Amino acid sequence: MMLSIGDLVLDITIVTEGRLRADDDNPASITLGGGGQAANFCAWAAKLGEPARLITRVGDDDGGHLLVAELETLGVDVHAIWASQPTGVIAVLVGPNGERTMATQRGATIGLRPDDLREAWFEGVKLIHVPAYSLFEEPLAEAARAAIAFVRRGGGLLAIDLSSAAGIHQYGPARMAHVLKDLAPDLLFATRTEAEALGIRLERLTAIPVVKLGASGCTVLGEFIASPPVDEIDATGAGDALAAAFCSSYLRSANPIEAARYAVAVAAGAVTHVGARPNGIP
């Protein structure tokens, strides 16, 4: 069983046909779907055959109930705390070359508290995945640390994803590095931009650093693993697919290089369709 704690939100994905023209109409394909880094991780894990559980807080509204039902349909065991605040929304603008810009309203998720958690939710969990988004703001950060403690007491591994270079800068790179040293993740995922924002070598913070390189692939323990060439449509969620595939493979083999090869293959498939989830991916 793998578990993640954090965001379950509505993604509004806008894929433009060309570069945006200010003060004018811009033809685009617009789709709605589930998102949130923690939820995406669980969706991909379930797709890959790994039992997956999500702990989250969502609005007690139509959007929140639909998002939970969608994840459950994908095979994820969802433990949702229902809140009076609205469910979060992310608008993802995808340019003609696949570049993405995101506008985020996190909504109810950041209000998750330690006393919302139940110890039984963590029984049998072999790995907890924690997005840095779940560490940036209280009381969610305190709940995430409590969840990590539950899993660690049961002998499970900790994987952290740095999530956002902008989030690291806002939180404070030195402060974030201190948090990571204290939590001592077994696996640490980051893009090159996120790693540079942190300003400290990832090897000083974890036994197994994984740097996500987008279409190029990734590096693990300094070894480059190339991604197979594909026609990229939308990279939203590809990093979450990579992390889920890596964690799933690593739990089975304890071989980080083998896990990285599997992960880049899964992530390559993820960019060939619109949206952050594995719907329609064989």
List pLDDT tens digits, range 116-164: 999 999 999 999 999 999 999 999 999 999 999 999 999 999 999 999 9
| Amino acid at the residue 246 | F
**pLDDT computed for residue 33 by the predictor:** 79
**Mode of pairing for the β-strands spanning 52-59 and 77-83:** parallel
Mean of pLDDT over the chain: 91
- Please tell me the total number of residues recorded for the chain in this structure: 282
CA distances (Å), origin 275, targets 3, 17, 279? 22, 16, 9
pLDDT band with cut points at 50, 70 and 90 for residue 245: very high
pLDDT tens digits, 27-73: 888 878 788 999 999 999 999 999 999 999 999 999 999 999 999 99
Q: What is the mean pLDDT of residues 201-223?
A: 93
In terms of pLDDT, which residue wins out, 277 or 14?
14
**pLDDT classification of 103: cutoffs 50, 70, 90:** confident
Structure confidence at residue 206 (pLDDT): 97
pLDDT for position 234: 64
Quick one: three-class SS letters along 7-23? CCEEEEEEEECCCCCCC
Residue 269, pLDDT > 90, answer: no
Determine the pLDDT at residue 280: 46
* 236 pLDDT more than 90: no
* Residue 282 pLDDT > 50: no
pLDDT at residue 281 is higher than 50: no
Question: Quick one: average pLDDT of 256-280?
Answer: 82
In angstroms, the CA 75 to CA 183 distance is 29
Q: What pLDDT, on a 0 to 100 scale, did the predictor assign at position 29?
A: 81
| Better pLDDT: 33 or 83 | 83
Domains of the chain and any CATH numbers: 36-86+110-270 (3.40.1190.20)
Distances (CA, A) of 81 to 110, 127, 198: 11, 21, 32
**Half-sphere exposure (Cβ direction) of 117: Cα atoms closer than 13 Å:** 26
Distances from the Cα of 273 to the Cα of 52, 231, 232, angstroms: 23, 9, 8
Sheet of 223-226, strand order: 77-83, 52-59, 2-5, 127-131, 157-161, 187-191, 208-212, 217-220, 223-226
Question: How far apart are alpha carbons 260 and 224 in whole angstroms?
Answer: 9
